[in-house]
Each structure stands twice: as structure tokens, then as C-alpha cells.
Chains A and B, each alone.
Chain A
Amino acid sequence: EPEVTQTPSHQVTQMGQEVILRCVPISNHLYFYWYRQILGQKVEFLVSFYNNEISEKSEIFDDQFSVERPDGSNFTLKIRSTKLEDSAMYFCASESAQGRIKGYEQYFGPGTRLTVT
């Protein structure tokens, strides 16, 4: 069964450094999302992406964040200058056009644990 994959599974970085989290969505999906989950807290929406542009973003998704679909398969989240409070699990999700019609089912990747020291 197709699945969303994410790399790396765990990334440790120093405060102020740039990080890029990578996701490979399911191949025929058209809608892409990033979420984060700070340890012990709920999953929070960051951004949605469709047709090579951001369709929605939350208040968390400030100028330090950016997303890109550099080729036909990858979907990336970049944090330009990491802060301690960026430490969290970051989940990528994707969704097909048919999925939207059927009921908006998003498929989640296993997550990348980002630790900022």
C-alpha cells in the first residue's frame, strides 16, 4: 500500500541553524500538508500546499518557515534559523483529489523528530 515517507527520522541541530525536513507524498496525491507536535501537546496545522503554492497557513507558520516542492516527488519544510521552541515532531501528510471528494482523508508520514539544542 502506498505510504508517505519522511526523512530523516530524527534531526538534531543547533539553535540558529537551517534545517530542511523532507517528505515524499503518495505519488498521485495533489494536496500536501505539514503539521507539528510539540512533545506532549496536540498536533498543530502548519501549512497546506496545492498547485505549487501555499493554500493555507497557520499563525505558527511565520517567515522562518517555507515549503517547496522542488521536483515531482519531494515536499520540503525549511526552517531558516531554528529556535529551541521549534523542537517538535513534524508530520507531513498528503491527499488525493478523489480523497477530497470522498471525505478529505489525509495520509500521514511517520514524522521527523527535530531537536534544537
Chain B
Amino acid sequence: AQSVTQLGSHVSVSEGALVLLRCNYSSSVPPYLFWYVQYPNQGLQLLLKYTTGATLVKGINGFEAEFKKSETSFHLTKPSAHMSDAAEYFCAVRLNDMRFGAGTRLTVKP
């Protein structure tokens, strides 16, 4: 069975600083991996996904993530945080059904 662990339920960064949200997965076979963002009172929006091929995946809003099989990780990064990035971020893994991590709330300080 697949599962996802997001390290850090809350991350706070200053505007312009690097954003790093951590995600580790557990899966018996190479899974598909996703990052979703949830803004207050809204649904889930896909940021990026890894299926096969290039391990560095670029998504919307300047985010990217790198699939590292040896570390079973799929950390999300953005070089420079913007105030509008403040939201809840969910890592998800999929073999058959989608399994989400507990989420990381990103706060961006001015």
C-alpha cells in the first residue's frame, strides 16, 4: 500500500526566501506523485506531478519538485516566496487510489 508523509505541518518563510516543503512516500512500485495547493475556502488545485521521465518537474506559480527514488522523496521548492503562496499544500501518491499527506500550511511573512 502507498502512503505519504509530509514533514512539518506548518512552514513559515519570509517573502523572497526559499520555500521547501518536504514529502516522503512509501510505495511498493514506482508511484505517480503530485503536489496540490488549497487556498482558503477553495478546492484542490494541481501544482505539478511526476509520472515518468525527467525527475525534476516544473509546475505552476514557479514551483518545482524533484523525484528522488533513492530517498523516496518528492520535495516541493520555490526559489522566492510570494505573499500569494500562503496556502495549504498537499503531497499525494497514487497507485490505484490517491493518498494524500496531512498537508503543510505555508505562511509567508512580509
Give me the interface of A with B, judged by CB distance under 8 Å: 33, 35, 41-45, 48, 56, 58, 91, 93, 102-111
Contacts and interface: CB of A to CB of B under 8 A. Distances in A.
A91 B43 contact: yes
Interface of B: 32, 34, 36, 42-46, 49, 51-52, 90, 92, 94, 96-103
Interface of B is mostly: strand
A93 B34 CA distance: 15
B101 A104 contact: no
Nearest to A103: B51
A104 B99 CA distance: 13
A107 B44 CA distance: 8
25 contacts: A33-B97, A33-B98, A42-B100, A42-B102, A42-B103, A43-B90, A43-B92, A44-B100, A45-B97, A45-B98, A45-B99, A45-B100, A48-B96, A56-B96, A91-B43, A91-B44, A93-B98, A103-B51, A104-B51, A104-B94, A104-B98, A107-B46, A108-B36, A110-B42, A111-B43
Contacts of B103: 42-43
A26 to B, nearest CB: 13
Given A48-B97, A56-B96, A58-B97, A104 B32 contact: yes
A42 B99 CA distance: 9
